[in-house]
Amino acid sequence: MTEAEWIAFLQRPEIPAFNRAMLVNPDDDLPRLVFADWMDENCPDEFFNRFIRESITSQESIPFRVGYGNQRRRLSFDRGRVFASLYSRSPPPKRREPRTLFAAVWRAQWVNRLALDGVGPKCLKSFFHDPPMAMVRGVYFHENDCSPALLPEILNSSHLTHLTYLSLSGRASTELLRALLSCEVVVQFTGIELTVADNVSTAGLIANSPKLTGLSHMRLHGCRSADFAAALANSPYLCEAIRAQWRRATDEGGANR
């Protein structure tokens, strides 16, 4: 298929409909298998279809490159949906009628997880306030300019209705952590990954935030002290599984989690 044929194909209304079904039922393989069957019947690219079908039953993301020339993007199929990685020179697609293959994938609401590497504040605002963000479940920030002022501006977007996982690279200052915990979307999170300062103040912010009650997975880097581990082990809000991890760290005299 040519790029133009792909763009036209991805604008078929069935594709966002299938993606909505897969998003609503993330643990059900039936919508994914129905989607794979539909792709087999309607998409003539057998190589592409094989990647989608394999990703549905695979426990690992299957990498795939999509696009032509300078518009190539690194994507992975993650149980039938897309994990897309974008870089600083990759502005978000602004036009309703996509002109690149990635823009068509984005408009088809196919992106489940999104990694943003070195993307500037203007582009971050454009992405987070764009309707297809409503289909994104996980966001990974890598080397982005996320200031304490910018983070609430993008995370308070009305489109983040299904965002459940956030990863921030780089050390999160106390101000940035406060800004993050001020965002209402945090109550939706089931997983979070941060690099934080190893001090009692930071530990207290995390341990005493009722917005983190829904977490089932938390990975914190840079925390080695027993006092930090003890604060999280005794949190009134973190789930028992997370508290148990930090109790083990306390017994070991503190550990980088």
Specify the pLDDT at position 25. Answer: 83
Residue 135, φ and ψ in degrees, nearest 5: -95, 0
Residue (of 194, 181, 192) closest to 155 by Cα position: 181
Distance CA 43, CA 154 (A): 36
Q: What is the pLDDT of residue 69?
A: 47
| Burial class (CB within 10 angstroms; exposed 0-12, middle 13-18, buried 19+) of 256 | exposed
Q: Please list the pLDDT of the chain residue by residue as tens digits (257 residues).
A: 788 888 899 999 999 999 999 998 888 889 999 999 999 999 988 888 888 888 888 877 777 665 544 445 567 888 889 888 776 555 555 656 777 778 888 889 999 999 888 788 888 888 899 999 999 999 998 866 678 999 999 999 999 999 999 998 877 889 999 999 999 999 999 999 999 988 989 999 999 999 999 999 999 998 888 899 999 999 999 999 999 999 988 776 554 44
Dihedral, CA atoms, 230, 232, 237, 238, nearest 10 degrees? -120
Strand, coil or helix: 85: strand
> In the structure encoding, which two tokens stand for residue 84, read together?
């897309």
Strand (E) or helix (H) holding 102: helix 101-107
Q: What pTM was estimated for this model as a whole?
A: 0.87
> What's the pLDDT score for residue 170?
78
Domains, the chain, with CATH or none: 3-251 (3.80.10)
Looking at residue 68, its pLDDT comes to: 45
Q: Which two tokens stand for residue 90?
A: 């990759």
